[in-house]
Amino acid sequence: MLSSAAISIGLPLLLFVIMLGLGLSLRVDDFSSVISRPKPLFIGLFCQIFIMPAICFGLVYISNLPPSIAVGMMLLAASPGGSSAVLFTHLGKGDVALSLCLVAITSLLTMISIPVVANLSLEAFFGDTKPVTVEFYHVLQIFCIAIVPVMTGIFIHNRFPDLANRLERPVKTLATVFLAFVILVALISEWRIVVEWGPVVGFTVVVFSVISLAVGYYVPRAFKVGRRQAIALALAIGLHNAALVMTLALSEYMLNEPEMAIPPALYGVTAYIVCGAFVWLLNKGKVLPEDGARSKP
């Protein structure tokens, strides 16, 4: 279930480089816009922290999953957006600055939200609790991979704009290749889990992934949030940090329950595929056309 050293070290390093490239297309003004008009951010936080755990609880209850699997699903619902959500947002032409802000804030709130949801879920499905905490270094890892390189790219964009413009196109190409590579690696590295647990848990995980995207897009749109912002929120909410949940489930110092890692392991495969398809359809104009435009036939 654990990735090889090449995957666990190589992929974060590659993602670090790509996140640096994303920063090259951003300006300080982009973040000023998010802060000065925070409604989309607040709506995204509400969806991530309250709506998704509530929906997930109903989903696992209806699915009648084993207790350990149900808790694993709830941990997944309470987890923050993954750093790769920013990459998907860039490829889907969403608001990258908003995505980055949501990932950063939910990562910080994880130190509170995951223990609360985990302990309530353990009480609901097992009848007892094992106190769960999230160590600060887990949050720090997310910041090192997602936030630091993007801020470095923004600095380069503001100090050396010509260099940033030259690098932007090759970085976007690299990002597309990386997306395909991540999906392939996820399938290969977790193939045994896909085969063994796919029929039992896979359907629930896919449904949860699709619902996450739908909630992240349509709830903001119902409150008159713009399309680019809604795309960013959909992908930040639709790509939870499965690696963090697996760490919590497998660590002997935390939950030490391997079965709880099965939902995030399957999610790590299916969510990339679902969100990758969503981004592809966005770019083809097949779904969610521009405001006032019609989708292509």
Query: Of 175, 211, 201, which is closest to residue 92 (Cα–Cα)?
Result: 175
| pLDDT greater than 50 at residue 52 | yes
% of the chain with per-residue pLDDT over 90: 16
Q: Which residue has the tokens 């990932």?
A: 103
CA-to-CA separations, 37 to 41, 44, 217, 275, in angstroms, rounded? 8, 13, 18, 26
CA 207 and chain centroid, separation = 15
Polymer length in residues for the chain: 297
Rounded-to-integer distance, Cα 246 and Cα 256, Å: 10
Rounded-to-integer distance, Cα 232 and Cα 260, Å: 29
Query: Of 240, 275, 270, 220, which is closest to residue 89 (Cα–Cα)?
Result: 275
The per-residue pLDDT for range 16-44, each reduced to its tens digit, is: 666 676 666 666 666 677 777 889 999 99
Structural domains of the chain ordered from first start: 14-281 (1.20.1530.20)
The per-residue pLDDT for range 174-222, each reduced to its tens digit, is: 665 665 665 566 556 656 665 766 677 878 888 999 999 999 999 999 9
pTM over 0.85: no
In contact, 270 and 188? CB cutoff 8 Å: no
| pLDDT greater than 70 at residue 292 | no
